[in-house]
């Protein structure tokens, strides 16, 4: 297969990547790979923009799942104390501070296995409405859900739903036993029946092989249309979990994964998410050049729980300013995925975008 430079200058949206072609792409000499990824990025995105998101743990701890990397699993002693579902007013207050700091998307995360049709879900819907009313994109990660629940979230104004596939189907079975890979894909399919955009990616550093990473990208590329957002997480090693002593991920592996994801999923936002704090400014800049155009930031030193550290708003503002990157406004990409726009069923958000603090 010819993967020369001209291939990427005229990149097409593809759903038929083979493992062999992905491996050939991934193993391209690193600087050449970054160059090609940067060319794709410039074709599909504004290279001077960065989306900044904020993650809020609206319900922390006591998750019944056994994900081997997770601090919130009830199966492990990680020092995370279970907390009840937050009140809407507190969530909106945190979101408003984030908006004032230049954040355009808020992700609401609950340590649930699945969404249940109860009073707690009703409260989450109210949170979605409240943060959307601030003029911000709202993403939720609540575990598995069905089509009706996805539609209720859509009606509340949800912009995106996050449900990561984590790794390859084969490796997934070695790190999680309380749900299947098919369960993950089913939830993604339920979200695709709505106008809610899709956010799905994975984690590197779990002990997976390079082929596992590429099979994950292959899985995402087979989704039609591709997920609008693709998080690339670096394992945050948490004491008490089975992966607490995993080796660190080499920085070049991170850059290579970002660049490969950008070429394979050219229209998607590639999110450099958990574990970013392990990268120095130069490494982050190289990831941005390779196509990462979204990051998570926080007003505290933690992203989700006290087990997952995160750069602060102030630190990220300094970095983005030094690189000449401006903050992306919310709803710039509309509310629908490309296939729905092509069918003429787009439902454009009419909320005024908030002023982005510099």
Catalytic residues: 63, 67, 70, 107, 139, 199, 271
Quick: pLDDT tens for 222-250: 999 999 999 999 998 888 888 788 999 99
What mean pLDDT is predicted for residues 289-315? 78
Contact status, residue 156 vs residue 129, Cβ threshold 8 Å = yes
Q: In this structure, is the dihedral angle defined by the CA atoms of residues 164, 182, 267 and 260, taken in order, positive or negative? A: positive
Express each pLDDT in 327-339 by its tens digit.
999 998 766 433 3
pLDDT average, residue stretch 153-171: 94
Enumerate residues 6+ apart whose C-beta is below 8 A from 136: 95, 98, 99, 103, 104, 105, 106, 330, 354
Q: Where residue 5 falls among pLDDT bands split at 50, 70, 90? A: very low
Who wins on pLDDT, 344 or 93?
93
Hey, what domains does the chain have and what are their CATH numbers?
14-330 (3.20.20.70)
**Rounded to the nearest 10 degrees, what angle do helices 19-26 and 210-221 cross at?**
120
The region of weakest confidence among 4-8, 10-14, 127-131, 271-275 is: 4-8
Longest dimension (CA), the chain: 55
Which of 112-121, 170-179, 261-270 has the weakest average pLDDT?
112-121
């Amino acid at each position: 297969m010819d993967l020369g430079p001209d291939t990427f200058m005229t990149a097409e949206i593809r759903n038929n990547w083979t493992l062999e072609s992905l491996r050939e792409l991934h193993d391209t000499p690193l600087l050449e790979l970054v160059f090609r990824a940067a060319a794709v990025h410039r074709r599909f995105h504004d290279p001077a923009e960065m989306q900044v998101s904020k993650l809020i743990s609206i319900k922390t701890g006591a998750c019944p799942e056994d994900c081997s990397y997770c601090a919130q699993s009830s199966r492990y002693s990680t020092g995370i104390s279970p907390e009840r579902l937050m009140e809407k007013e507190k969530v909106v207050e945190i979101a408003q501070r984030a908006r004032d700091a230049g954040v355009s998307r808020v992700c609401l995360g609950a340590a649930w296995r699945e969404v249940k049709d109860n009073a707690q879900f009703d409260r989450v819907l109210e949170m979605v409405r409240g943060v959307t009313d601030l003029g911000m994109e709202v993403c939720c990660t609540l575990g598995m859900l069905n089509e009706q629940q996805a539609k209720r979230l859509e009606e509340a104004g949800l912009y995106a739903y996050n449900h990561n596939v984590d790794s390859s189907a084969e490796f997934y079975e070695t790190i999680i036993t309380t749900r299947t890979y098919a369960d993950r894909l089913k939830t993604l399919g339920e979200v695709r029946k709505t106008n809610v955009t899709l956010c799905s990616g994975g984690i590197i550093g779990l002990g997976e092989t390079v082929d596992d990473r590429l099979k994950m990208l292959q899985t995402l590329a087979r989704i039609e249309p591709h997920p609008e957002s693709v998080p690339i997480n670096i394992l945050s090693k948490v004491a008490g979990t089975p992966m607490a002593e995993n080796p660190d991920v080499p920085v070049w592996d991170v850059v290579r994964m970002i660049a490969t994801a950008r070429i394979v999923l050219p229209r998607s936002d590639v999110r450099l998410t958990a574990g970013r704090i392990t990268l120095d400014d130069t490494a982050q800049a190289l990831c941005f050049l390779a196509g990462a155009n979204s990051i998570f930031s926080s007003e505290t030193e933690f992203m989700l729980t006290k087990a997952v550290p995160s750069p602060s708003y102030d630190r990220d503002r300094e970095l983005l300013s030094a690189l000449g990157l401006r903050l992306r406004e919310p709803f710039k990409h509309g509310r629908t995925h490309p296939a729905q726009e092509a069918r003429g069923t787009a439902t454009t958000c009419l909320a005024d975008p908030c002023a982005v603090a510099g």
